[in-house]
Amino acid sequence: MHVDDLGRAFALAAEDAPAGTLLHVVGGVSTAKEMSEAIGRLIGAPEATSALPLDVARRELPIADWMAVRQRIGARRVRDLLGWRPEGPSIAADLAEGTYRRLLPQ
């Protein structure tokens, strides 16, 4: 999710959520593949994104198992309790076209 959306959710939770409330704040659905493709577009090398069989990825990438986990986390509770709604771009869109561009070497 976009950092501004996360900041608004955090501020709402700090001000209005009952003590001890557990909230999941997510802005949408994204996959490791979508994130990798967005990073490829960001660095100008979309063709460099490719999939690996899990056994190969485990040897090459320490976080392969984490990236391969399929999790669904919803933000219904934070929306219902605090009225929060994400407004910014998705993380994949922001990676490919947004604020992360300023971090690239010139």
> What confidence score (pLDDT) does residue 18 get?
94
Tens of pLDDT along 47-94? 888 888 999 999 998 888 888 887 778 888 999 999 999 998 888 888
Q: How many other CB atoms sit within 10 Å of the CB of residue 72?
A: 6
Contact criterion met (CB below 8 Å) for 106 and 51: no
Residue 86, C-beta contacts closer than 8 angstroms, at least 6 positions apart: 1, 2, 5, 27, 28, 75
> What confidence score (pLDDT) does residue 81 get?
94
**Weakest mean pLDDT among 11-15, 34-38, 84-88:** 34-38
pTM of the model: 0.65
| Mean pLDDT, range 23-40, rounded to an integer | 83
Residue 14, C-beta contacts closer than 8 angstroms, at least 6 positions apart: none
